[in-house]
Structure 1
Amino acid sequence: MREAGAPRGQGQSPRGTRALSQPQIILLTYVLSALELTCLFMHFSVLPYLSRRLGLDSVAFGYQQTLFGVLQLLGGPVFGRFADQRGARAAFTLSFLASSGLYLLLAAACSPALPGVTLLFASRLPGALMHTLPAAQMVLADLSAPEERPTALSRLGLCFGVGVIFGSLLGGTLSSSCGIQCPVIVALVVSLLGAVLSFTCIPTNTKGASDHAQPVPPGRTKASVFDLKAISRLLLQPGVLPVFLVKVISGFPSGLFTVMFSIISMDFFQLEAAQASYLMSFFGVLQMVIQGLVIGRLSSHFSEGALLRASVLVFSLVGLAMALMTHVFHFCLLMPGLVFSLCTLNVVTDSLLTKAVSASDTGTMLGLCASVQPLMRTLGPTLGGLLYRSFGVPAFGHVQFAVNFLLLLVLWRQPIPRKTDKAP
């Protein structure tokens, strides 16, 4: 029998360990997210140099990046459904074990005695199951009340900022002082630690852990994790598809720019590698401040529909200014608006979409949301490359302004409902 006053969903830790309280589970979720993102950006910081050392040209490097994006695109919804069916502990543990497999193969690729190129491409395969952030979002959505959900999700921005800053700095520092294999080995050890913490401390399931969570609908047959119909039916539920389309359409132009940013920083802004890393650190700090501190406060004063329209409006204004920029200083001035729009769009749409489905489907829904970024990384290099080669950097601003301005007109005529969570 559940102890009086204890949140539902607790007391399901492995035998011999003490069940954590709900605030402790939420804090551990943030810690695990920060660890995973730090490892991910350590890996990103050394991957181009490892590829160059193995003799890969820019085309081959693009192929393995595209492979990683496609695998994450396909794996996101399946992983989300796995999290719904098997629970938070299994989802976190699987994601960290997949990360460990990726870093193990990447460390092996650094060895001159092994076939490095083959192992480098093989290391992309576990990426299909590397989805710690959607797992964390599912736990926060399960444990938070609907009115508190935007604030809880926005605090993940602090974790993202920590990952960008410390991951990039650690990756560069360790590879310079101890060799290119060192950051990968550190990431492997940290990922294994994350798997142990997940298995021993995260509850088996967080569904129904909040008084506001909704029970699994009675009479529903338990479908397979790979049931595509069960995944796609979520998009057909009331209030889901319009919000999901806004998420994809509004963020796609900025996604194209982000994918091409490494090329733009070298060719258009004429930045050295160190200067580009400083700019990325600035981006990480802005993300921490805006998503971790600003959006949570705004969500308590404004409706989610108003915040969504504000993000689209700022996107269009930033796009107009981006079409006129000629120097990296101009881009630094635009960065706060760009980061605000990106963070607000992601937090608000994730919150609206998790409210629009039952508690038993929040993981699958967040898995679909997690597939948006891999979709951009898959299509972005080709589309962004054609746009950049044909029209230059101003074209990204023109496209962003046009798309978001038209979307703003649509939202003004048919605004997103202020509350889309289902009745209990």
Structure 2
Amino acid sequence: MNPTTETDPETSKPAGSAQGTDQRKKTRVIYVVYLIAALDITWMFLQFSVTPYLAKKLGFDTLWFGYLQTMVGVIQLLGGPMFGRFADLFGARLALSLACSSTVVFFLLLAVADHPAMLFIHKLPTVFMHVLPASQMVVADLSEPEKRAEALSKLGLCFGIGMIAGSTLGGLLITRYGETFTACVGAAGSLFSLILVLNFIPKSTKSQASTAQTQDKKKSVFSLGEIVRLMKYPGVTPTFLVKIISGLPSGIFQVMFSIIALEFFKLEPQQNGYLMAYFGVVQMLMQGLVIGRLTARFSDHALLLTSIGGSALVGLAQANMQNVFQFCIIVVPMMFSLSVFGVITDSMLTKSVPSSDTGTMMGLCASVQSLLRTIAPTVGGFLYVNYGISSIGSIEFIVNTCVFGYMLRRHLRRSTEHQD
């Protein structure tokens, strides 16, 4: 043996070879997680194609549909931090298994929903349906900090693929076979995702040091003290506030879009599926071709400012749109702003905390989205019914303009202080 070759003390193999094998294993796990995430988004958009039309059949109006969406937001708001902490304590395989199993139950309940109350009951399993945050945790654990934004952006690419597949498939299946059969397809697909988790995801994706650090902590799935501790890390609380305040107006539009498509654009299920597929294509282009290059060239702060400014302009355009063709043009800058905003804020937050807490942080990020979905349906329903679709865009313009101005002023002030 070459005397200058370093060896791994545990395997007696060259250290470079052991590191290469370990890296290949990590890469394989990440690719499997991408597949699981893409499948989960496919089944979720399949469900998005079912719920509004089934709700209409069962006599729901716009406000009651908003209450249904609010219920989901409340449930996931409570479940997000617990699920994230559960993933940190018990590992990726168990967390993803719980999430996929809950999705199977969710679709089975949707398949037998024949009464308004059943539409509310079938939402209960969403308390554990956090496949995407669990996937983000795994990617954050297995990727290098400097490449984390790019790795997380590829999950957004998976989101786009799932959006296209789920929306198109959902529209076609509902048109030809009805809501019940479509829900059964979602249940079968979620079961396949569970099989992938059990066969390819390791018990834990954290380093040995992170695992030991987690084991030293009190094993409580829900710990308010842990949440408070994470919020005290530098930069975490301000980023969370920006994520909530700037994300609320766009969250209102996203939650209300199924109603907007049905009533304002007057789209049929299959047409709505094609429109959602168009969303997915645009998001795939953004995540696959744009965001990775931007994160390599520009700072997180610059990209965050750009996304917020873009959201303000998108809100102004939404306030003045009149038809679906105009909306298809607006979709391009809208998906760019949303994609950059989501990836950059998640990347900034996971980099701000120890690797042993990435699951909890991803759970908290999911809770931000759940909080927005809790508030957005009620606010959105009220605005849409009383003031029309233009009011939603106007609020997005005003809020994001204010946030952009505040952040720009704060950045300029800091730059001046550093120069002094």
Provide TM-score, normalisation by structure 1.
Answer: 0.87
Out of 195, 210, 221, the residue aligned to residue 225 of structure 1 is 221
C-alpha spacing 1:208/1:385, structure 2 compared with 1 (3 Å): same
1:57 Cα offset (Å): 4.8
- Contact 1:76 1:368 survives alignment (8 Å): yes
**1-structure distance, mates of 2:145, 2:358:** 12
Out of 276, 290, 304, the residue aligned to residue 286 of structure 2 is 290
Match runs of 1:228-307 below 5 Å: 228-307=224-303
Match runs of 1:31-180 below 5 Å: 31-109=35-113, 116-180=115-179
What CA deviation, in whole Å up to 9, does each residue of 1:301-343 have, x standing for no partner? 1111111111111112222333333333322222111111101
C-alpha spacing 1:49/1:260, structure 2 compared with 1 (3 Å): closer
Counterpart in 1 of 2:367?
371
**2-structure distance, mates of 1:294, 1:337:** 12
- Contact 2:175 2:269 survives alignment (8 Å): no
* Matched residue type, 1:310: T
Q: Which runs of 5+ in 1 are unaligned?
A: 11-18, 111-115, 419-424
C-alpha spacing 1:218/1:159, structure 2 compared with 1 (3 Å): closer
1:81 Cα offset (Å): 0.5
- Contact 1:9 1:205 survives alignment (8 Å): no
- Contact 2:255 2:376 survives alignment (8 Å): yes
**2-structure distance, mates of 1:219, 1:408:** 41
* Matched residue type, 2:96: F
**2-structure distance, mates of 1:161, 1:359:** 27
Q: CA RMSD in A?
A: 2.7
Aligned identity (percent) is: 50
**2-structure distance, mates of 1:328, 1:50:** 23
**1-structure distance, mates of 2:274, 2:302:** 33
**Could you say what secondary structure the match of 2:338 adopts?**
helix
**2-structure distance, mates of 1:347, 1:272:** 32
- Contact 1:260 1:384 survives alignment (8 Å): yes
C-alpha spacing 1:108/1:334, structure 2 compared with 1 (3 Å): closer
C-alpha spacing 1:181/1:367, structure 2 compared with 1 (3 Å): same
Residue 333 of structure 2 is aligned to residue 333 of structure 1? no
- Contact 2:62 2:259 survives alignment (8 Å): no
* Matched residue type, 1:130: M
- Contact 1:350 1:369 survives alignment (8 Å): yes
**2-structure distance, mates of 1:390, 1:53:** 24
- More displaced, 326-335 or 72-81? 326-335
What CA deviation, in whole Å up to 9, does each residue of 1:342-367 have, x standing for no partner? 01000000000000000011011111
Greater share of helix: 2
1:272 Cα offset (Å): 4.4
Residue 388 of structure 2 is aligned to residue 392 of structure 1? yes
C-alpha spacing 1:226/1:215, structure 2 compared with 1 (3 Å): closer
1:52 Cα offset (Å): 3.9
**2-structure distance, mates of 1:120, 1:193:** 24
Counterpart in 2 of 1:14?
none
Match runs of 1:207-218 below 5 Å: 207-208=206-207, 217=213
Out of 14, 17, 27, the residue aligned to residue 23 of structure 1 is 27
Residue 406 of structure 2 is aligned to residue 410 of structure 1? yes
**2-structure distance, mates of 1:84, 1:266:** 41
**1-structure distance, mates of 2:171, 2:319:** 32
1:266 Cα offset (Å): 4.2
- Contact 1:216 1:358 survives alignment (8 Å): no
C-alpha spacing 1:324/1:56, structure 2 compared with 1 (3 Å): closer
What CA deviation, in whole Å up to 9, does each residue of 1:277-319 have, x standing for no partner? 3322211111111023210111111111111111111112222
Q: Which runs of 5+ in 2 are unaligned?
A: 1-9, 415-420
**Could you say what secondary structure the match of 2:112 adopts?**
helix
C-alpha spacing 1:9/1:63, structure 2 compared with 1 (3 Å): farther
Counterpart in 2 of 1:193?
192
**2-structure distance, mates of 1:7, 1:222:** 32
1:33 Cα offset (Å): 0.5
What CA deviation, in whole Å up to 9, does each residue of 1:103-145 have, x standing for no partner? 12222336xxxxx545433221111000000011001101111
* Matched residue type, 1:303: S
What CA deviation, in whole Å up to 9, does each residue of 1:50-102 have, x standing for no partner? 33444555554443332222111111111000011111111111110111111
* Matched residue type, 1:305: H
**1-structure distance, mates of 2:339, 2:175:** 32
**1-structure distance, mates of 2:97, 2:220:** 20
- Contact 1:216 1:359 survives alignment (8 Å): no
1:49 Cα offset (Å): 3.1
C-alpha spacing 1:325/1:144, structure 2 compared with 1 (3 Å): same
Provide TM-score, normalisation by structure 2.
Answer: 0.88
What CA deviation, in whole Å up to 9, does each residue of 1:18-42 have, x standing for no partner? x981111011000000111111111
**2-structure distance, mates of 1:218, 1:174:** 45
- Contact 1:34 1:162 survives alignment (8 Å): yes
* Matched residue type, 1:138: M
- More displaced, 80-89 or 275-284? 275-284
C-alpha spacing 1:325/1:50, structure 2 compared with 1 (3 Å): closer
1:389 Cα offset (Å): 3.4
1:415 Cα offset (Å): 3.5
